[in-house]
Amino acid sequence: MDNYNLMLGNELFQKSYFKAHEKEFLELAEKGQTPKALYIGCSDSRVVPDLMTNSAPGDLFVVRNIGNFVAPYKPDEDFHSTASAIEYAVSVLKVKNIIVCGHTKCGAIEAIHNKSCSDDPELVHTKTWLTLGDSAKSQALLALGLNADKDILYRLTEKLSVISQIENLLTYPSVKTRIDSNEISVHGWIYDIESGEIEYYDPEISQFVPLSSLREEKSE
């Protein structure tokens, strides 16, 4: 997609979606944002949080990075993009929910197993960043063994990584304090790029189950 196509896309957006929702956009511009959730997801172009949740502008405060990783809290003055987004969402925007969303066929997870970034000097930052998935990799190999089918190994690692990133998220004092006081709820999701379905992690049974099951529980 070149710049011309992007320009045409913006023109269509202005004439259709923006015009149909102009009142809502103006209210967001005048009153500011009050998102319902902080969404931490992967930069993968196949995963579009607004589309897959049918969210409206202003609903999600989105931060995306390679592998939907969360680095542990580190109180220094270095540059921490994801940490900054977490702090802003929690302490300024006062979000009530945090979603850590992984997805199937994740290139970051495959790279962790294949060590495809280890010798490339142009991927020095990526190599370091991917170490945030090492814990999930080790757990998956321990559970399935070194000779496990690669697809099964990758799918398990993707899920274990979501849990691992939530554990890192809990190292942030502002997050932990608000969880303990029931001001914030944290959710772990896996999005299936081949079906469009989402599973969420249920800590009571230590399993990922269809997100749609929450609707069934609510209707009972």
- If one counts every other C-beta atom within 10 angstroms of the C-beta of residue 103, the result is 23
Q: What residues make up the domain containing 24?
A: 1-32
Indicate the number of domains in the chain. Answer: 2
Mean pLDDT of the region 37-66 = 97
Nearest to 39 by CA among 100, 87, 85, 95: 100
The verdict on residue 186 lying in a domain is yes
The verdict on residue 61 lying in a domain is no
| Same domain membership, residue 129 and residue 195 | yes
| Same domain membership, residue 167 and residue 89 | yes
Q: What CA–CA distances, in Å, run from 147 to 17, 111, 159? A: 50, 17, 19
| Same domain membership, residue 71 and residue 27 | no
| Same domain membership, residue 99 and residue 14 | no
| Same domain membership, residue 75 and residue 24 | no
For the chain, give the mean pLDDT: 95
| Same domain membership, residue 78 and residue 7 | no
Report whether pLDDT(44) > 60: yes
| Same domain membership, residue 148 and residue 177 | yes
The tens digit of pLDDT for each residue in 109-164 reads: 999 999 877 788 899 999 999 999 999 999 999 999 999 999 999 999 999 999 99
